Chains A and B, each alone.
Chain A
Amino acid sequence: MAFIDYYKVLEIDKKATDAEIKKAYRKLARKYHPDINPNDKDAEKKFKEINEANEVLGNAEKRKKYDAYGENWQHAGEFEKANQQQRYYNKNASQEDFNSYGRDGDDYSDFFESLFGNSGRTRGRSQQFKGTDFNTELQLNLDEVYTTQKKTISVNGKSIRFTIPAGVENGQTIKIAGHGGEGISGGPKGDLYITFSIKNHPDFKRDKNNLYSTVTLDLYKAVLGGEITVATFDGKAKLKIAAGTQNGTQVKLKGKGFPVYKHEGHFGDLYITFQIEIPTSLSEKELELFTELSKLKTL
């Protein structure tokens, strides 16, 4: 359990006046408030820290105790015994209570709990607040988001079954309403935010709804033209090759790309780039023919 320097958290001097503490707190609260920093876990953590610091330094009795025992928090218990008859906390503390964000017991540091215990909290709210929002990341393969499917994940020991719509993008976040933390004072439950991390596919690269792949074309087919069978994401397709196809030529297979998110039946396109394979180990006959061709070209 590490000592927390609440003065440092609020970026103030140890001799700071009540007005200076309040001012510092409000300034930092405006900077790190979760509504101003949506989906920012670092800001949320910082916001909890400054709330905790304010709860201690913004209350004269707690600040006194913190100043006396803060760095030697292990002795706080002795202090408690000596003052067990004394109710040192003020239930009517007038400081602002930003308790709509994760202000359950778990959100206080161990340090705070050891120093002030549960009685240290100056809440006593009657207002209802929404529970904490939970965030989690789900790793999926590209083929797992090609079709809409149901998935079950475990969050804080609870199984949650939800639908992943086809076409979800890498980095996209979806909200599962009401699967976050318990509401406070009977308030609604928080929400669960799931961010998808989609692994690269070995054969297909994706840009939004379009897919990109590279197909190797033998020299003769590129020169003479013909027909080949190419792999699409969910099967195969026949493709005509024009005579004289150049290396790097790109063709579009309309509607053979990735499903469009929440637009059932709509697909992007598949772009195929041809990589022409130049033969490396020629047979004697081949060499002879290539030489003949070469001579024809130079005539």
Chain B
Amino acid sequence: MSTENFIPINTLCQHYKLEISFFNTLNETGLIEIQLVDSIQYVHKESIYEIEKMVRMHKELDVNIEGIDIVLNLLQKIDALQTELLTVRNRLLLYEN
């Protein structure tokens, strides 16, 4: 498999000054997907935005991985509710004016 679109976990550990166990636990919790290529652990580069968000929550807010999981789930719910609210507001426009 080509690793062109993947970032080695070791690079992330160096960049964010984090132990590899942090990323492994994220993987075990299902928050990220680690792929093994020639015995090297990688994450897809498209997941870097979400990973950085988790790193910030962990480093800046002292949120542990279980907490990150809960926060992300709640944010997803908020996002779904906001989308629904927007749809309902737009539908309400049908009956206004």
Contact = CB atoms under 8 A, between A and B. Distances in A.
A and B associate in one complex: yes
Interface of A: 26, 29-30, 33, 35-36, 38, 96, 98, 100, 127, 130, 169-172, 200, 205-208, 212
Given A96-B60, A98-B60, A100-B56, A171 B94 contact: no
A200 B53 contact: no
A132 to B, nearest CB: 14
Nearest to A130: B52
B42 to A, nearest CB: 20
A33 B60 contact: yes
Interface stretch (B19-27, B30-38, B84-92): B84-92
Nearest to A191: B49
B75 interface: yes
26 contacts: A26-B61, A29-B60, A29-B61, A30-B61, A30-B63, A33-B57, A33-B60, A33-B61, A36-B57, A38-B75, A98-B60, A100-B60, A127-B17, A169-B86, A169-B90, A170-B90, A170-B93, A171-B86, A171-B90, A200-B97, A206-B90, A206-B93, A207-B90, A207-B91, A207-B94, A208-B87
Q: State the majority secondary structure of interface residues on B.
A: helix
Interface of B: 17, 52-53, 56-57, 60-63, 71, 75, 86-87, 89-91, 93-94, 97
B93 A200 contact: yes
Contacts of A208: 87, 90
Nearest to A212: B94
A112 B86 CA distance: 39
A205 B91 CA distance: 9
Contact of A35 (B53, B62, B86, B90): B53
A205 B93 contact: yes
A125 B65 CA distance: 26
Contacts of A205: 93-94
B52 to A, nearest CB: 7
B96 to A, nearest CB: 9
A175 to B, nearest CB: 10
A26 B87 contact: no
A294 B91 CA distance: 42
Nearest to B85: A171
Contacts of B93: 170, 200, 205-206
Contact of B89 (A35, A38, A96, A171): A171
Contacts of B75: 36, 38
Indicate the member of B17, B56, B71, B94 with the most A CB atoms within 10 Å: B56
A199 to B, nearest CB: 10
Given A38-B75, A100-B56, A200-B93, 19 more contacts: A26-B62, A30-B63, A33-B57, A33-B61, A35-B56, A35-B57, A36-B57, A36-B61, A96-B60, A98-B60, A130-B52, A170-B90, A170-B93, A171-B86, A171-B90, A172-B86, A200-B97, A207-B90, A208-B87
Nearest to A172: B86
Contacts of A29: 60-61
Contacts of A30: 61, 63
A45 to B, nearest CB: 18
Nearest to B62: A26
Contacts of B71: 36
A36 B58 CA distance: 12
Contacts of B87: 208
A127 B89 CA distance: 43
A299 B52 CA distance: 82
